[in-house]
Amino acid sequence: MPSITDIPGILVGHATDPVARTGVTVILTPQGAVAGVDVRGGAPGTRETDLLNPINSVQQVHAITLCGGSALGLAAVSGVVQWLHERGHGFDTGVARVPIVPAAVIFDLALGTPTWPDAAMGYAACVAAAPATPEGSVGAGTGATAGKILGMQAATKTGVGSWSETLADGTTLAALVVLNPFGDVWAEHGPIIAGARLPDGSFADTMRLLRDPALLPHFGTPADQVGNTTLVVVATDARLTKAEATKLAQMAHDGLARTIRPLHTPFDGDTVFCLATGQRPALPLVVLGSIAADVVARAVERAAQTT
């Protein structure tokens, strides 16, 4: 099955707690990769995203970590850093090699027991990393759900999905998605495939409900502000600068807009990272970014249909 590990130099590892319904997914690039990020959700939980700004000095990252547990789950990144450091990977400061590991989280505390990933779980995800990408209710997708407008009891279980496409010149674009939106998930050219359900099991259609004036008083309460966020890592073997990687991450958000409705709400922390391993000459960004959005849309569909 096509996945993000179709790009040489990228490994994916999951650590899963099926009881607490949470976990960690690590995308390893131990030899380094140029990276960018674009954060559009209103409630993000991130680490080391500022250093991906093209004006800042660090040029490569050594992993991206995606975590459950909301901000508490960012503790898992310490385990990823430790694993990389033990193997000599990182930015050479002249004193020690310091692994650069940006990260982002989803809120999944409402699904299982209130437990969150820690450094040991981050380390375990690195140990499990391999040139394959298990999908479904694993890693950071263990507690992922879609369609929260009627509460968690009406949401649909989702998870991790991945996809890749190799272009005519041999360049590969790929994506990994942790799908945990407030909104519903739609097939790009079809019906709702994950989201809020009515008592009879049919999909409620969040956009239709948002047009119901009777529901308006319910929004803005603390209960409406938790349980969401979709995370994406887009990757390519093309040679990009940090600025180009950032632009590709921006364009890749279109794949979410085609498949998640509503998107980028005040209750979501939607974040797209981009990794560029630089093994091939770059195609024009209009090509890479446009196709990256297609790949993200396909990865979203995989994450919605794989539980």
Tell me what pLDDT residue 49 has: 96
Q: What is the pLDDT of residues 215-242, one digit of tens each?
A: 655 555 555 555 789 999 999 999 999 9
Instruction: Render pLDDT for 261-289 as a digit per residue (tens, 0 to 9).
Output: 999 999 999 999 999 999 999 899 999 99
Contact 2, 164 (CB under 8 A): yes
pLDDT bracket for residue 209 (50, 70, 90): confident
CATH of the domain at 65: 3.60.70.12
Q: How many domains would you assign to the chain? A: 1
pLDDT of residue 24: 98
What is the structure's pLDDT at 220?
Answer: 53
**pLDDT on residue 63:** 98
Is the model's pLDDT at 299 over the cut of 80?
Answer: yes
The residue among 151, 60, 54, 65 whose CA lies nearest residue 106 is 65
Position 34 scores a pLDDT of 98
Supply the pLDDT for residue 218: 57
Angle at 286 between CA 7 and CA 265, to 5 degrees: 85
Is the pLDDT at 154 greater than 80, yes or no? yes
- Residue 217: predicted pLDDT: 53
Q: What is the mean pLDDT of the chain?
A: 93
* 244: its two tokens: 């180009």
pLDDT tens per residue, range 105-119: 999 998 877 889 999
pLDDT of residue 305: 85
Rounded to 5 degrees, φ, ψ at 230 are -110, 130
pLDDT tens-digit readout, 44-64: 999 999 999 999 999 999 999
- Residue 214 pLDDT > 90, yes or no? no
pLDDT of residue 226: 57
Q: What is the DSSP string of 84-108?
A: HHHTT-SEE-SS-EE----EEE---
**How confident is the model over 19-41, as a mean pLDDT?**
96
pTM > 0.85: yes
Q: What values do phi and psi take at 292, rounded to 5?
A: -60, -40
pLDDT at 1: 85
Peptide bond into 262 cis (omega under 30): yes
- Pair 87, 30: CB distance under 8 Å: yes
DSSP H helical ranges for 212-276: 242-257
pLDDT of residue 202: 93
| Domain enclosing residue 83, as ranges | 4-305
Q: Is the pLDDT of residue 104 over 70?
A: yes
